[in-house]
Amino acid sequence: MKIQAYDISKTASATTLIFDAIRQAIITGDLAQGEPLRQEDIARAFNVSRIPVREALLKLEQHGLITSQRYKGAVVAGLSLDEASEIFEFRALLEPEVIRRAVPQMSPQVLETAASCCEAFGRADDPMQWGDLNRRFHSTLYAASGLGYHMEVLDKAMDRIDPYLRAQLLLSDGMQRANREHRMIVEACRAGQADRAADLTRQHILGAQESLSRYWQK
Amino acid sequence: MKIQAYDISKTASATTLIFDAIRQAIITGDLAQGEPLRQEDIARAFNVSRIPVREALLKLEQHGLITSQRYKGAVVAGLSLDEASEIFEFRALLEPEVIRRAVPQMSPQVLETAASCCEAFGRADDPMQWGDLNRRFHSTLYAASGLGYHMEVLDKAMDRIDPYLRAQLLLSDGMQRANREHRMIVEACRAGQADRAADLTRQHILGAQESLSRYWQK
DNA sequence: TTAATGTATATTGTATCCAATTTTAAGGTC
DNA sequence: GACCTTAAAATTGGATACAATATACATTAA
């Protein structure tokens, strides 16, 4: 067998595939806030019945990515700047602690992966990749903490603010600053300075929140 | 309009009713860890088809209350003591900040409700009520913070450890101590001492975690 | 004209049926 | 009796069909 194969039946159900596709479209901003999601349309687009579509929509709703009303249907969830700010605060509370716990556990492998994210981040010219790399950078470092529950919760939080994050990276100095701060964080991790990594992470998050708020107000 | 009316459209769908019922059974410990949940059985019990049952199970899975495998079905999710401990740490991180933000916003109404929870908590002899009152106590205070997202995330976290919490309240001095600490927290809130309320809350959570861990090890 | 009401259409919620897969048990071979 | 094969039962995933509800539009009466 020369083909790189894997057991499809274990991986994707229709529900999962639909969920992933819609989730991706929402967090990249492809589907805008308030956009209605009709079960029938989606079912046709994926060539399935409405049943798996409904289940995908249910999962999306649990993630806070859509809101749905009985007999009225689902729309892409809106997120006011205030709500987004609350989620930034949430991150600012959690992530410093997570990285603090992670630093002593970081293998050279992890540090190298994180560094390579920084590299790619600096080189990438496609703004879409920035969002992806940004998330990969953080989750790579956090994964070393072994705090599965925290990671899970944080991932959901990131999903919700992802459109805002991508917008923030597109601001005049957003991408440059993020890149600079990421490198400083890796530096602290590599030096084993857990507290410093935590501080930098906190500032990184609050800085992003602040620059976003400021931009949105003018 | 002389008729006492209310919006019946807001009333629950079958999916929601089933979700609530099973969730309740899980968090009270009525359904034990590992208990299998057969769609057909549940459907018969509620006199509905399997469709709403499946959707209820999906929601439960998103909440982490059950785990399900393709073609194998769902079982009540297990939670090791380590995992429960991680959720306690999660709470210990969030709740002090939430209550700190809440204290300046607490109306006399809120404080009175919280105090009445303490009263009822002290009087109740049914161990089942302790868990409910404990949650109502905390969420009443936190609600004043206006931090909707934090509340939502915390609620889900509480769902997961609820069986452990109830077990902890049943320990020799669990209920007494919880009651004592609750009253101290209300006191601090009433006095407007946000930092003290935060500290007490943190200790309250870590104390519960610690007494639980100690008990489980022997 | 306008507000209230009836009707048609669109959309979601649920039931019933079939397909895919796993589990169980029976039978045969050593 | 242990072990493999195989057929049947049990169970979940998905498709189709129908019921319940909402929305939009036409109709009618004041």
The per-residue pLDDT for B7 is: 66
Q: Which of the nucleotides lies closest to A74 (Cα–C1')?
A: C12
The per-residue pLDDT for A169 is: 81
Yes or no, beta carbons of B87 and A149 under 8 Å apart? yes
Tens digits of per-residue pLDDT, B10-62? 668 899 999 999 999 999 889 999 999 999 999 999 999 999 999 999 999 99
Residue nearest to nucleotide D21 (CA to C1'): A71
SS (H, E, C) A2-44: CCCCCCHHHHCCHHHHHHHHHHHHHHCCCCCCCCEECHHHHHH
The per-residue pLDDT for B6 is: 66
Q: Which helix (H) or strand (E) holds A63?
A: none
Euclidean distance between CA atoms B92 and B90, whole angstroms: 5
Per-residue flag: B74 CB under 7 A of strand D: yes
Tens digits of per-residue pLDDT, B116-134? 998 898 888 887 888 889 9
Interface confidence, given as ipTM, is 0.87
Distances (CA, A) of B25 to A120, A155, B128, B135, B169: 49, 28, 12, 16, 18
Question: Mean pLDDT in runs of 10 for chain A (218 residues)?
Answer: 30 81 90 92 91 93 94 92 95 97 95 92 83 92 96 96 87 84 95 96 94 79
Domains of chain A: 8-76 (1.10.10.10), 81-217 (1.20.120.530)
Distances (CA, A) of A169 to A54, A162, A209, B4: 33, 10, 11, 53
For chain A, strand residue ranges (E) read 36-37, 66-69, 73-76
Q: Closest chain A residue to B11 measured between Cα atoms?
A: A70
DSSP at B106: -
Contact present, B175 and B130 (Cβ < 8 Å) = yes
Residue B108 has pLDDT above 50, yes or no: yes
Contact present, A196 and A188 (Cβ < 8 Å) = yes
Euclidean distance between CA atoms A89 and A48, whole angstroms: 40
Q: Closest chain B residue to A153 measured between Cα atoms?
A: B153
Euclidean distance between CA atoms A130 and A15, whole angstroms: 28
Beta bridge partners of A74: A37, A68
User: What torsion do the CA atoms of A103, A106, A109, A112 make, to the nearest 10 degrees?
Assistant: 0
Contact present, A28 and A128 (Cβ < 8 Å) = yes
Q: Which residues of A107-129 are buried (b: 16+ CB within 10 A; e: fewer)?
A: eeebbeebbebbeebeeeeeeee
Q: How confident is the model at residue B9 (pLDDT cuts 50, 70, 90)?
A: low
Neighbour order of strands in the sheet with A66-69: A36-37, A73-76, A66-69
Instruction: Find the CB nearest B9 among A51, A70, A86.
Output: A70
Residue B149 backbone class (left: φ over 0; alpha: ψ -120 to 50; beta: rest): alpha
Q: Which of the nucleotides lies closest to A12 (Cα–C1')?
A: D13
Q: Which of the nucleotides lies closest to A18 (Cα–C1')?
A: D14
Euclidean distance between CA atoms B102 and A42, whole angstroms: 42
The per-residue pLDDT for A10 is: 42
Q: How confident is the model at residue B4 (pLDDT cuts 50, 70, 90)?
A: low
Q: How many residues appear in chain B?
A: 218
Residue B179 has pLDDT above 50, yes or no: yes
Token pair for B76: 């009540």
Contact present, B183 and B191 (Cβ < 8 Å) = no
Q: How far is the CA of A11 from the C1' of C19 (A)?
A: 19
The per-residue pLDDT for A93 is: 97
* Main-chain phi, psi angles of B33, to 5 degrees: -50, 135
Q: Which residues of B34-50 are buried (b: 16+ CB within 10 A; e: fewer)?
A: eeebebeebbeebebee
The per-residue pLDDT for A9 is: 38
The per-residue pLDDT for B5 is: 61
Token pair for B192: 């407007």
Euclidean distance between CA atoms A66 and B81, whole angstroms: 33
- Residue at B17: amino acid letter: L
Per-residue flag: A72 CB under 7 A of strand D: yes
